[in-house]
Structure 1
Amino acid sequence: MQQLEAFYESTPKAVGFVERKIAIPSHTLNLYGPPRSGKSWCVLDYLASIPKRKRLYIDLRDLRVDRLALAEELQRFIDAKGIETVVVDHYDGTFPMPSCRQCILVTEAPFVENPMIPLLELRPLDFEEYLAFERHPIHLEHSFSLYLRTGSLPQMAGVHDSLLTMRLHDTVRSIFPSPIQQAAFRALARFLGKPVSVHQLYTGLKRSHRISKDRLYGMLKEWEQRGILRWLEKFEQPKAARRLLLYDFAMPASLYFEKSLMGQLYSIAAGRLLQLGREVVYTEGIDLYDPVEKGALLLSPFANQQSAAAKISGLIGELDRLDVRSVTILTVANAFGFTFDTIRVTAIPFYEWIMAED
């Protein structure tokens, strides 16, 4: 039981932990979320509030772990020591969940094998959380510009510009270790926030890499389960190409010399609406449409009142057909409002909209 004694005697500390929006409750649960979203730091901060002799933290990615011995010895060790809270980080289901007062399984994909375990999701940083990581905030507009550059992964907050691309690429290599995975993620990055089909991705990828359609489909399905990517459907057209959302928007941007501001902004806007529980889709002319609230959101970074009115005029048929009652236009810095027919149009800077109460 040497490895368990070592884990028991030395729990890592969440040095410099910044509070997140989720709180870990005092019962058994599955904390899940995409890679590098901050799950380990959250559980380590939680464990710091529990007496040392009542807790045990095990990281299955520790290269010293002997899994066979661990599976055989773990329950006896918990019972012998009277341990009440056990955290198994990077749990993969290769051995049964230990029995104790509180067990926290930390995974990327939800652990669906036991539907009785409550789920708690941790997504990467939203803009409000990012502000807590910023050491010297100056102005919301400046902070949002930094957020666009560094992305939503906690470890990237505060990284100097001169090191940022290198750190982002190191993260890509860590999350996607094989060359074909890296190539597939790079192919996805090109379509951030845009409609794309899996067949389209496969056709482009097979020109330069040997990959079967089944392997690509399986890879994308796994990434979807791990929360790395999400799809946004076209309204009332389930067979149409879906818009691609990636859980971080700085990694994709770092993979090409040309930047895709619209893709990054779209990913952030859609992510916020989904986080709020909205059932958003897109249409031919509307970037994000909420069929329940009958609201439309358009991304137009440099819009002014004149160009916005012209855009709404061109969309009036679609807006009427969808019974849209309000349109929000996200800009870089401009704010204005007007009524077109019976539709209220409001333009607001992106950094203000993302901080507004729902």
Structure 2
Amino acid sequence: MNALLDEYYRYDLHNVGFIERKHSIGDENTLIYGITQSGKSALIKNYLLTHKKSTYLYIDCRDMRIDITELNDTLSQFCREHKISILALDNYYEEIALIEIDQIILSSETSLELPYHTIHLELLDYEEFLAFESKFDSTALNHFFQLGGFPAMHRIPSEDRVLYLQSTMSRALEPIEFSILSQASKMVTQKVSAFNLYERLKGERKISKDKLYLHLQSLFDRGYLKSLSKFNHPSAVKKLYLCDIAIKHALTLQKHFGRIFENLVFLELDKHHIECYYDEGIDFYLPERGQIIIASAFANEHALFKKVEALEGFIVSNRVREVIAVTMNLESTLSHPISRIEMIPFERWALSDE
């Protein structure tokens, strides 16, 4: 194992074309967690490359040559002998024993119970996405709809992106999880229960309810799937969303721009940790802001006004101050006696400070 550690110690790390993210690593023990290809490794390497090469040791724990028992027996002594002060364990799993050292940096798909500074590294939101664009013009939003939030998608030729994502997901997930994700891609923005998914999948493969529920929960826990609860009805069936719209493009031939657009709006709310719920006729209700958000890519003023009329009971009883229709490019303010109504293009809405 010393030979493998020495090999890692002598590696020259490369992080070509790194673009700053909203998160960065400081000098404390740090855990970075997030789904596969969210940029965890790039963030770690960017930090290490600001230090003298002899002071750090970077190990990718997916390396099949690693014997965990031998690693646990030799790692601490190796770091002492080489005066290593920073240990980075990428794709870490808990069977690997943590040692006493000045700084440890870990990456994982899930959060771990450790007294470390924790960074939840999600996929790119629209603001971060713009930093990856070679130029900022009217094509940026269309690129966002095509590429989604995976940082690597900017480096993948357009003809290879679908196969890249299919390969990425199949490597990161167990076969049953991949099947669940594929089925979920056909049901985004809909009210979906675990039983609904089971009914869909049992015709494709032999699976027990318990096993499906276990793997479905794992997909939620790791962030591949997301859900939205009904306002004041926590036991009601939740709406289902993907962690990135590019997954839907890669795993299904279905084209439903309205659902993709709603998923995008949800992800912007989710990535900014804004409390929200759905209700009948309401895509997103933000109680702390007194707002209703309607994802309506091609809304028109007449249809929006009629929709708000149907929601008057909810608006009055919950003291909603503002109804915002997020659109592709339409912008307008409507006069309504009980609530302010605005149509705001996605680009301006996603980049606003509020």
Q: TM-score range by the shorter chain?
A: over 0.9
Contact 2:186/2:254 (<8 A) preserved: no
Please give the alpha-carbon distance, in whole angstroms, between the structure 2 residues aligned to 1:266 and 1:307.
17
Paired residue for 2:4? 3
Q: Output the amino acid matched with 1:183.
A: S
Partner of 1:310: 306
CA offset digits 1:151-179 (Å, max 9, x no partner): 1111112533322222222222222252x
Amino acid at match of 1:86: L
**Contact 2:177–2:216 (CA<8 Å) still a contact in 1?**
no
* Alignment partner, residue 25 of structure 2: 24
Q: What amino acid is the match of 1:253?
A: H
* Equivalent residue, structure 2, for 1:100: 101
Partner Cα distance (1:256, 1:83) in 2: 47
Using the alignment, how far apart are the partners of 2:96 and 2:351 within structure 1? 43
CA distance in 2 between partners of 1:41 and 1:103 (Å): 16
User: For residues 167-316 of structure 1, what are the structure 2 equivalents within 5 Å?
Assistant: 167-178=164-175, 180-316=176-312
2:133 aligned partner, one-letter code:
E
Helix, strand or coil at the partner of 1:327: strand
- Which residue pairs with 2:132 in the alignment? 133
DSSP-derived class of the 2:352 partner: coil
SS in 2 for 1:257: coil
Structure 1 residue aligned with 2:156: 159
SS of aligned partner of 1:77: helix
CA gap of 1:12–1:158, structure 2 versus 1, over 3 A, is closer
Residue 329 to residue 158, structure 1, CA distance change in 2 (3 Å): farther
Paired-residue identity, %: 29
CA separation in 2, counterparts of 1:319 and 1:157?
A: 42
- Partner of 1:196: helix, strand, or coil? coil
Q: What residue in structure 2 maps to residue 41 of structure 1?
A: 42
Give the distance between the partners of 2:346 and 2:177, measured in 1 at CA. Answer: 33
Query: For each residue in 1:105-126, what CA deviation from the matched residue of structure 2 results, as whole angstroms up to 9, or x when unmatched?
Result: 11110012x3x22211110111
Q: Deviations over 1:243-287 (max 9, x none)?
A: 112211111222222213223222222222223232111111110
Of the structure 1 ranges 61-70 and 116-125, higher mean CA displacement relative to structure 2 is found in 61-70
User: 1:64 and 2:65 equivalent?
Assistant: yes
TM-score by length of 1: 0.95
What is the SS of the residue equivalent to 2:7? Answer: helix
**CA shift digits 1:108-145 (9 cap, x unpaired):** 10012x3x222111101111111111123332xx2111
Match of 1:195, SS state, is coil
- C-alpha contact 2:28 2:116 (8 A) present in aligned 1: no
The equivalent of 2:85 in structure 1 is 84
2:145 alignment partner in structure 1: 148
CA distance in 2, matches of 1:177, 1:238: 29
Does residue 116 of structure 2 align to residue 117 of structure 1?
yes
Secondary structure at the aligned position of 1:282 is classed as strand
Q: Equivalents in 2 of 1:226, 1:315: separation in Å? A: 35
- Partners of 1:279 and 1:328 in 2: how far apart? 16
Aligned length: 353
Cα distance in 2 for residues equivalent to 1:30 and 1:146: 31
What SS does the corresponding residue of 1:328 show, helix, strand or coil? Answer: strand
Query: C-alpha displacement at 1:11, in angstroms?
Result: 4.1
Provide the rounded CA distance (Å) in 2 between the counterparts of 1:81 and 1:163: 42
Structure 2 gaps of 5+ residues are: none
